[in-house]
Chains A and B, each alone.
Chain A
Amino acid sequence: MALYFFTPFIAIILTILGGGIIFYILGFNPIEALKFYFITPISNLYGLSELLLKATPLCLIAIGLSFCFKSNNWNIGAEGQLTFGAIVGGGVALLFYNQEGFYILPLVILAGAIGGMIFALIPAILKTYFNTNEILVSLMLVYVSKLLLDYLVVGPWSNPEGFNFPETRQFSDSSRMPLLFESLRIHAGIFLALAAVMLSWFILYKTYLGFQIKVSGLSLKTAKYAGFKGKTMILVVFMISGACAGLAGVGEITGPIGQLHRMISPDYGFTAIIVAFLGRLNPFGIIFASLVVALTYLGAETAQIFLQIPKYTGQVFQGMILFFLLASDYLLFFKVKILNLKKNELRH
């Protein structure tokens, strides 16, 4: 069991070593490169704030995904749920674009969560009642939501004073997440993520629903024998997952972005899958994992600014983390047996 939570650390260490080797081959001083990658970005307050800002949506989405993944439901479409949540939340924010009022932001956030939830219900309902594959459906719906967003920001919702550029009006200040510190971008959305962590821990470990989720994840047959209502549970985990992704989307548009346009998420919904597994689908593990993965984004930027290392190394790092995690899992949890066969034994 201890090993189970230890392997992510092994994976991270191996990733750093692997990264050092890659930097060395590319002709950079590996120690210096790694310093710019993992230390420089968070060596001041602004950097720390940016790290938390980046980790917030990753953490939120991964928390939601952990409900699905723990119960053997493969929701791959968090990116779509994020986008749809942002569309619904952004739509509400745009309704109030010229108004101020304390009630606006809660409405926007709620709308975002509901939007994500509804969008996640589509693959869930199709899975429970029509036996479709949720991986395919949720993945394909990502493109649907992105195209819908494209349509809205180019057409009906585009800023009337914006020269037809594909973006909406700026939201009013009442639809924006309050900033925690002046001149830093970290905003109140981080409390949503922390609340999600607490709540998910409570649900997963202290409630009957959590017990059902875990049992279904370990063995679907056992869950059936125990008489759990599988269909309701599937709908519930997808709804939780979608709501979290929707919140992440709303946090981005009401936080650092402040309007709807086509680039609201650099694929947070997909990166969060790595975060969820690196965090061992454990709420507190996910906090840690979201910080690590957020750092790979920031590090890639600083490494390019200071050493002109190609920015795509960030994606290489994310890939390596997942690869090393799966590899160490494989090597640690499966017994490796070296068969001492003689040549003629092989031939019979």
Chain B
Amino acid sequence: MYKNFFRYLISAIFLLGFSVNSNADFKVGFVYVGPTGDHGWTFQHHEGRNAVEAAGIKTTFVESVPEGADAERVIRQLAQSGHDLIFTTSFGYMDPTNKVAKDFPNVKFEHATGYKREHPNVSTYSARFYEGRTLLGHIAGKMTKTNTIGYIASFPIPEVIRGINAMTLAAQKVNPNIKTKIVWVFTWYDPGKEAEAAQALIDQGADVIMQHTDSTAPVQTAEKAGVWSFGQASDMQRFAPKSILTSIIDDWAPYYVERAIAARDGKWNQQDTWHGLKEGMVAMGPYNSAMGADLVKEVEQLQKDLASGKVHSFTGPIYDQKGNILVAEGKVADDGMLAGMSVYVKGVEGDIPK
């Protein structure tokens, strides 16, 4: 009895503590997993934040928040200190975001790349990066002399496997002899490891390198070795001007501005967003003139067709590594299949680590 009373008292004081803040100005908080200067993933989210700020909305960010026990406190503090909309920009914030959302029903939460929306005030969003990978595959298939494409992969999650498959399928279309070699580095950001992986792939005969990690190390390694490469997450051209053919750019800015304004005006709804080239959440960097005018034209056309829906990255027939059919001729993979993708398509070498 006494113990319960004490508990309620504490909860009551606690609740009182954060109801005081609800009348403050509209503010948006951002939680980043890396430093704002990573020139990749976090850098682009930060650019998105700058756009929100430019739209006249106050913002706050916290960088380099580890995905462990600290994440929940940072998210909670943002909620508690009068932020009305909070973007948590890494997969590892999924459970903490949902946990905090439960205690702050009046605060809106947006979690990037996750799949849990346990409360009505949690939305999720991600980009169809694989559409960009299709363009890279087309370019890589045309540019390679050794028919070997090197791919630095982070974790064997559906998003990464989807990118590998989309790239391989597109490359095979223009060059049936293509092989994709993969090195798993099991990190999102480790310039040393990424550079080593790039070098290992180059040593194995890859003359086009791409990566699903955040640092600029792979493109710099490729530049030194004189092979082709692609920028990831943000325009990395200035880090390897000769080597980079183009970059996949994550452009979060329009989405962030739209959602922030919606939340400010009381028009925010829970949703699961998966935008691509069409909406501009995935964009392409400038094309390298070394590609030649014809190829650039081809790729630009393909980009238009992907955006309009005329072409789909995963159009059948698609076979897995053993030759079983995954998507029948004339059909395209649906979003459910894409979201859970866990096998390689034919032409990718090696096994998915288990």
Quote the shortest CB–CB distance from A42 to chain B (angstroms): 12
How far, in whole Å, are A264 and B69 apart by their CA atoms in the complex? 7
Q: Are B63 and A182 in contact (CB under 8 A)?
A: no
How far, in whole Å, are A150 and B342 apart by their CA atoms in the complex? 20
Known contacts: A257-B68, A261-B92. The answer to whether A46 contacts B186 by CB under 8 A is no
Q: Are A261 and B354 in contact (CB under 8 A)?
A: no
Most buried by B among A155, A258, A263: A263
How far, in whole Å, are A310 and B95 apart by their CA atoms in the complex? 26
How far, in whole Å, are A302 and B29 apart by their CA atoms in the complex? 13
Q: Are B10 and A304 in contact (CB under 8 A)?
A: no
Q: Are A163 and B157 in contact (CB under 8 A)?
A: yes
For the complex, is B74 an interface residue (Cβ under 8 Å from A)?
A: yes
Q: Are A184 and B72 in contact (CB under 8 A)?
A: no
In this complex, what residue of B is CB-closest to A302? B77
Q: Are A164 and B10 in contact (CB under 8 A)?
A: no
Q: Are B340 and A163 in contact (CB under 8 A)?
A: yes
Q: Are B354 and A301 in contact (CB under 8 A)?
A: no
How far, in whole Å, are A30 and B73 apart by their CA atoms in the complex? 25
For the complex, is A181 an interface residue (Cβ under 8 Å from B)?
A: yes
Q: Are B11 and A257 in contact (CB under 8 A)?
A: no
Known contacts: A154-B186, A301-B73. The answer to whether A266 contacts B68 by CB under 8 A is yes
For the complex, is A20 an interface residue (Cβ under 8 Å from B)?
A: no
Contact string, B124-162, partner A, CB cutoff 8 A, digits 1/0?
000000000000000000000000000000011110000
Q: Are B92 and A311 in contact (CB under 8 A)?
A: no
Q: Which residues of B contact A184 (CB under 8 A)?
A: 10, 14
How far, in whole Å, are A298 and B80 apart by their CA atoms in the complex? 15
| A162-205 CB contacts (< 8 Å) to partner B | 163-166, 181-185
For the complex, is B70 an interface residue (Cβ under 8 Å from A)?
A: yes
For the complex, is B78 an interface residue (Cβ under 8 Å from A)?
A: yes
Known contacts: A181-B10, A261-B92, A264-B68. The answer to whether A46 contacts B155 by CB under 8 A is no
Q: Are B155 and A166 in contact (CB under 8 A)?
A: yes
Contact string, A203-234, partner B, CB cutoff 8 A, digits 1/0?
00000000000000000000000000000000
Q: Which residues of A contact B78 (CB under 8 A)?
A: 305
Contact of B10 among A45, A261, A262, A302 (CB under 8 A): A45
Q: Are B62 and A301 in contact (CB under 8 A)?
A: yes
Contact of A46 among B14, B63, B65, B68 (CB under 8 A): B14
For the complex, is B267 an interface residue (Cβ under 8 Å from A)?
A: no
For the complex, is A306 an interface residue (Cβ under 8 Å from B)?
A: yes
Contact string, A50-70, partner B, CB cutoff 8 A, digits 1/0?
100100000000000000000
In this complex, what residue of B is CB-closest to A167? B92
Quote the shortest CB–CB distance from A181 to chain B (angstroms): 5
For the complex, is B66 an interface residue (Cβ under 8 Å from A)?
A: yes
For the complex, is B76 an interface residue (Cβ under 8 Å from A)?
A: yes
Quote the shortest CB–CB distance from A128 to chain B (angstroms): 35
Contact of B342 among A45, A164, A308 (CB under 8 A): A164
Q: Are A263 and B354 in contact (CB under 8 A)?
A: no
How far, in whole Å, are A217 and B286 apart by their CA atoms in the complex? 65
How many residues does chain A have at the interface if contact means C-beta atoms less than 8 Å apart?
39
How far, in whole Å, are A53 and B73 apart by their CA atoms in the complex? 11
Contact of B186 among A166, A182, A302 (CB under 8 A): A166
For the complex, is B274 an interface residue (Cβ under 8 Å from A)?
A: no
Q: Which residues of B contact A328 (CB under 8 A)?
A: none
How far, in whole Å, are A258 and B68 apart by their CA atoms in the complex? 10
Known contacts: A164-B342, A263-B92. The answer to whether A256 contacts B74 by CB under 8 A is no
How far, in whole Å, are A166 and B74 apart by their CA atoms in the complex? 22
For the complex, is B353 an interface residue (Cβ under 8 Å from A)?
A: yes
For the complex, is B289 an interface residue (Cβ under 8 Å from A)?
A: no
Q: Which residues of B contact A44 (CB under 8 A)?
A: 14, 17
Q: Which residues of A contact B158 (CB under 8 A)?
A: 163-164
How far, in whole Å, are A163 and B76 apart by their CA atoms in the complex? 27
For the complex, is B322 an interface residue (Cβ under 8 Å from A)?
A: no
Q: Which residues of B contact A305 (CB under 8 A)?
A: 29, 60, 62, 74, 77-78, 81
How far, in whole Å, are A193 and B76 apart by their CA atoms in the complex? 25
For the complex, is A134 an interface residue (Cβ under 8 Å from B)?
A: no
Q: Are B68 and A164 in contact (CB under 8 A)?
A: no
How far, in whole Å, are A344 and B7 apart by their CA atoms in the complex? 78
Q: Which residues of A contact B68 (CB under 8 A)?
A: 252, 257, 261, 263-266
Q: Which residues of B contact A264 (CB under 8 A)?
A: 68-69
Q: Which residues of B contact A45 (CB under 8 A)?
A: 10, 13-14, 17
For the complex, is B103 an interface residue (Cβ under 8 Å from A)?
A: yes
Q: Are A164 and B157 in contact (CB under 8 A)?
A: yes
Quote the shortest CB–CB distance from A20 to chain B (angstroms): 22
How far, in whole Å, are A263 and B156 apart by their CA atoms in the complex? 18
Contact string, B155-190, partner A, CB cutoff 8 A, digits 1/0?
111100000000000000000000000000010000
Q: Which residues of A contact B342 (CB under 8 A)?
A: 163-164
In this complex, what residue of B is CB-closest to A252? B69
Contact string, B66-108, partner A, CB cutoff 8 A, digits 1/0?
1111101110111011000000000110010000000100000
Q: Which residues of A contact B65 (CB under 8 A)?
A: 311
| A248-302 CB contacts (< 8 Å) to partner B | 252, 255-258, 261-266, 297-298, 301-302
How far, in whole Å, are A266 and B14 apart by their CA atoms in the complex? 27
Contact of B69 among A46, A150, A257 (CB under 8 A): A257
For the complex, is B61 an interface residue (Cβ under 8 Å from A)?
A: yes
For the complex, is B64 an interface residue (Cβ under 8 Å from A)?
A: yes
Q: Which residues of A contact B62 (CB under 8 A)?
A: 301, 304-305, 311
Quote the shortest CB–CB distance from A68 to chain B (angstroms): 26
Q: Which residues of A contact B11 (CB under 8 A)?
A: 181-183
Quote the shortest CB–CB distance from B6 to chain A (angstroms): 8
Q: Are A311 and B64 in contact (CB under 8 A)?
A: yes
Q: Are A183 and B155 in contact (CB under 8 A)?
A: no
Q: 5 closest pairs, A vs B, by CB?
A: A256-B69, A263-B68, A263-B67, A164-B156, A164-B157
- 8 A-B interface contacts by CB (under 8 A): A44-B17, A150-B186, A181-B10, A255-B69, A262-B67, A265-B68, A301-B74, A305-B60
Known contacts A45-B10, A183-B14, A304-B63, then 17 further A-B pairs from the complex at CB < 8 Å, ordered by chain A residue: A45-B17, A46-B76, A154-B155, A163-B158, A163-B340, A164-B156, A164-B342, A181-B10, A182-B7, A182-B11, A183-B103, A185-B72, A263-B68, A266-B70, A301-B62, A310-B63, A311-B64
